[in-house]
Structure 1
């Protein structure tokens, strides 16, 4: 290396161009722990130029200062042309929509496109089937993207599989900036698109700004213009999740993400609507993927999400949140608010009342369930046809409630110690109770003309 540097730095070398490709590791290029890096051996001459490619902003700035050219994402036309050139003769698809779908799925990344073309050339599977594999389970898609292939345009022994190159980069970042890996891991738990900076761990700290810069320099994160809003390539998101799983860190990473979102999730005050709408997709994704978790933080996050959905009039989704935590008091809150703001025949209000009655039944609060269902059945009889599924469902639930009430009464009868003198009176009361229940059921059924 010293001899090459000395020769190229001399006048006798003539004009030359030295290309250093994929200089992504700062330690290897810049040196570390007193050990010289590649930079120390670069020649200096007015007759020569050094062209360096890297995904590390740190390496780029250290090497070229301001003489940096950022390579932008491929345009759809460029990506289509690359795919056409990479596919073997006879493999070029005629369906433009299918090609566009594939390129979008590959996020217009050149290495991903080249890898897909190599797979299609070798296996001769149709693009439609390859797309199906990519859309399948995350583990299968990452395995597909991790398949090495021969590429004559790249160096021998270099990693050609895009998932492999990403994982190598993840490991490099882990060595140089553990906080950036923590941020990467957090993002792997939420939606990969429209990520506001304020939800990130330590969002206002200098450490977070540096971590964001590192992830952006590797193109793992992309900033939307001048806004503090970011996107992550869906393939990178998928590969990150698989990488975390291979390290057996998924439970700890998910728990930390829940704690973060629970801590910063806005209250359901309508003044916070913009904030919770930004955060909502990420919270929903995280809650969906952590249904097996029963931590207090997750419970609180579910309730916060449900309250905001209710305020945002997303009643069915709010109900699902409240059902998950079995928070009957939250359902009661929803119904109380809707009774003040919605007409009694409103579909959303009837749905909420139906769900609250169902929750009462599950909690063995049978009389409250019956009272609620009798009201729902009466209103639905005014607005729905006799065979409408909503009416049928409500009447069936009311019938079940009456049966449960009868069963409770019978159990009480059998357990109540009574004297012979009281027995006839008690049986008379029980019979009257049964008759009253049956009459209520018949009345409800007849109101539906069933």
Structure 2
């Protein structure tokens, strides 16, 4: 549907609104058509040739009336429909009644009547407007229908003139005044209203009544009036039958959902839309699986979804099956069979699953949504109760009127159930914004939310996990304590934190039998399933729980003779959302991170099982075993020690990393020699640890040793030698020894240009390093020249959105900023920030760096308020992502204090 509006330049169309879009308020014109050539058409408006036609008078009248009624938009059938487009014409004929009904005002235009006409007289009563077929729906559909004579004089509306209009048309006053629904009048009476009405084209006598009966038939001009009427009556009869079937389904529908709607449900808008789009499909059964970490809110999500659907589909039945155990499953199936009144439901010998499947699969059952909640035990779905018996997986109802929703933590089961990846919906945590809103809804004392820093810190600690937030709010409400007090409890000894997170509370999204559901025990079912079904996965989980939660090198895990078992075990843990895997750039080894609360709960699980003391020493035992079996100086032992050191390094645990790296380095010197490549690597690693502690002199000493040895053993232009030279330059750079750093940077750059080419990534890195050295010396033009070269080459070779390209753009922007070229700096910084948001995410450290850079540029431009707001956003994100002790966060806070 498109609307007209009057602008300074004349008539203008709005966009063509889709049926699903919200349409603004509008007026609509009802009139008698004149000759086709006199009416203003769609093309006339598009071409701007509408003022010279006689029909323009109607448009001007409608536009003026709409303006008087404070309506910006209006609709006129002569020109708002592109009749050359057959699809659009069909849509308009079918939708006409709805368009009139949705209008705010309907103006009946009768310019051939005198402004002094007597509404009781023949001129009004016998006006041709009351004899036309299409005007019947134009009279009935709108709430407001106003009649206008010559010169736009208002004669009255259908409410005030209801008695006269009833006499003229036979339409009851109650319908005209809106006190009766159109559906309350039987079919033949509605047909009688149209008996004496006429249409220019015979077929329109049927088509104009579609809205009166709430049906649609295809307009087939040329089919003759009698055939159109026959099709109309046939569809009216079929619609009546469908309505009767629908009415019975509404009366007989079943609502078997054992939970009330959660008033504190928050967010998940996108996920709700995704599931609702896929829920009812043509030609197949819709099976949608909701996965996610325990406590992420899968059950509450489905409950909220069902209450939405209950309002949207009043003829739909909703059945809830608790799939936690065989017993709960069996009980739920019996309740469903009883609620559906399936014959034989109370027969003890009957196959209840088969009865339910057959009933729901039949068309007579109508639309049905079947929920299987907590379907975590895969054996329940794939095992057979007896030889020849059917699996639960094969006993699910089928039909395009059937929708099945499953909540599970078990990724393997999820993939067995779905027919396509689009049917798998993984719920992440609710994010900072929605978790704040959830906390606001849950807390009794809203004043606790005034300290935003405490709120952010608490939600970050709880990983934005809904169940953890609910439990924390419950404890805070019961104890009437502050957020700071709760945070202090979370910072206590691990045993006390576990006790805090084991605090019982009533979770009303759980069945009565297991309503108490503290976060520290909510994963026990999953732990037990992992232990029963995948021994190696349980072993790895226990092992990793005693290392740390972040950046655990894969090679640190105890090996297994079967590579497949290792892959399966890690897949099991990842399938339960317990771990995530990524590449560790520093050491080129795959790394694993355990969800923080899972890590804590796993340790608690081990403690409850009496196994924590044993597992606490497992990592050391593995290394000691390797030392014993292979020797302390065996390459595999040294590799394990180096991997553990890398774990400590990635976690910022410099002292622990240093201790292991020194041991690896000294052993390598003894066994392999001081100039062995592995020894040099261990020396370089230790230098890196010193570097990160700001121990520049110690780092420099080791960097020099590695560099000189590699020069001798490998040659001055070997890639490893060049890397060590670059490392030493970086150490000089951090000490402000710019000339020495520059000399080394130039050497590395020139050698790489010769050996690798000017556009090789390593060459570009060395050019960027040299440019940074120029930058720190205030040599802006030289820095700019290199940064531009790096940026342009990176764009060509790597792409405009590659991380290295974005870094080069950021560097160039920094150079512009230091020269006072604010607009050029801002343009690049905005581009870098927005691209990083899209490619890396809004909370990625590189994205946050670009936010801080842009804030600085705005500050330099004198845009103080905007700069301070962006820097505050950056600081909050850095605290959430990096932690309150990270240098970047500390730097952001210092900047905010300086700017405030």
Band of TM-score, shorter chain: 0.5 to 0.7
Structure 2 counterpart of 1:8: 360
Structure 1 counterpart of 2:404: 50
Whole-angstrom distance in 1 between the partners of 2:583 and 2:426: 15
Contact kept, 8 Å, 2:558 with 2:622, in 1: the verdict is yes
Deviation at 1:99, TM superposition (A): 0.7
Report which of the two has the higher share of helix.
1
Structure 1 counterpart of 2:537: 180
Determine whether 1:19 maps to 2:375: no
**Range with bigger deviation, 247-256 or 170-179:** 247-256
Distance 1:52-1:277 versus aligned 2 partners, 3 A rule:
same
Whole-angstrom distance in 2 between the partners of 1:275 and 1:127: 38
Whole-angstrom distance in 2 between the partners of 1:11 and 1:98: 56
SS of 1:45's equivalent in the other structure is coil
Deviation at 1:47, TM superposition (A): 0.5
Give 1:121-200 correspondences, 5 Å limit. Answer: 121-158=477-514, 159-200=516-557
SS of 1:51's equivalent in the other structure is strand
Deviation at 1:86, TM superposition (A): 2.2
Deviation at 1:152, TM superposition (A): 2.6
SS of 2:527's equivalent in the other structure is helix
Deviation at 1:139, TM superposition (A): 1.4
Among 232, 238, 242, the alignment partner of 2:594 is 232
Whole-angstrom distance in 2 between the partners of 1:173 and 1:48: 32
Deviation at 1:228, TM superposition (A): 2.5
Determine whether 1:278 maps to 2:684: no
Distance 1:207-1:281 versus aligned 2 partners, 3 A rule:
farther
SS of 1:153's equivalent in the other structure is coil
Contact kept, 8 Å, 1:30 with 1:36, in 2: the verdict is no
Among 73, 91, 111, the alignment partner of 2:429 is 73
Deviation at 1:46, TM superposition (A): 1.6
Show CA shifts across 1:48-106 (max 9, x none).
10011111011101111432122223321122122212223536421111011101111
Give 1:408-419 correspondences, 5 Å limit. Answer: none
Contact kept, 8 Å, 1:220 with 1:233, in 2: the verdict is yes
Contact kept, 8 Å, 2:409 with 2:576, in 1: the verdict is yes
Distance 1:160-1:213 versus aligned 2 partners, 3 A rule:
same
Deviation at 1:202, TM superposition (A): 2.1
Deviation at 1:235, TM superposition (A): 1.8
SS of 1:93's equivalent in the other structure is helix
Contact kept, 8 Å, 2:642 with 2:660, in 1: the verdict is no
SS of 1:60's equivalent in the other structure is helix
Structure 1 counterpart of 2:415: 61
Structure 1 counterpart of 2:383: 31
Give 1:203-282 correspondences, 5 Å limit. Answer: 205-224=563-582, 228-261=590-623, 263=626, 277-280=645-648
Whole-angstrom distance in 2 between the partners of 1:247 and 1:302: 34
Distance 1:144-1:280 versus aligned 2 partners, 3 A rule:
closer
Whole-angstrom distance in 1 between the partners of 2:614 and 2:405: 42
Distance 1:242-1:273 versus aligned 2 partners, 3 A rule:
closer
Show CA shifts across 1:240-278 (max 9, x none).
11211222223432343223345499979x999985652
Q: CA RMSD in A?
A: 4.0
Whole-angstrom distance in 2 between the partners of 1:8 and 1:58: 26
Whole-angstrom distance in 2 between the partners of 1:51 and 1:167: 24
Distance 1:137-1:255 versus aligned 2 partners, 3 A rule:
closer
Whole-angstrom distance in 2 between the partners of 1:271 and 1:143: 38
Structure 2 length-normalised TM: 0.31
Q: Which has the higher contact order (CA 8 A, sep 6+)?
A: 1
SS of 2:404's equivalent in the other structure is strand
Show CA shifts across 1:17-68 (max 9, x none).
1122221121234336758664354222221100111110111011114321
Distance 1:246-1:236 versus aligned 2 partners, 3 A rule:
same
Whole-angstrom distance in 2 between the partners of 1:271 and 1:171: 33
Structure 1 length-normalised TM: 0.59
Contact kept, 8 Å, 2:448 with 2:483, in 1: the verdict is no
Whole-angstrom distance in 1 between the partners of 2:639 and 2:599: 32
Structure 2 counterpart of 1:418: none
Whole-angstrom distance in 2 between the partners of 1:153 and 1:209: 35
Whole-angstrom distance in 2 between the partners of 1:39 and 1:10: 19
Deviation at 1:126, TM superposition (A): 0.9
Contact kept, 8 Å, 2:556 with 2:640, in 1: the verdict is no
Among 447, 454, 475, the alignment partner of 1:98 is 454
Structure 2, unmatched stretches of 5+, are 1-332, 334-352, 667-682, 691-697, 706-900
SS of 1:231's equivalent in the other structure is strand
SS of 1:157's equivalent in the other structure is helix
Distance 1:5-1:107 versus aligned 2 partners, 3 A rule:
same
Whole-angstrom distance in 2 between the partners of 1:251 and 1:121: 35
**Range with bigger deviation, 175-184 or 61-70:** 61-70
Structure 2 counterpart of 1:359: none
Determine whether 1:85 maps to 2:441: yes
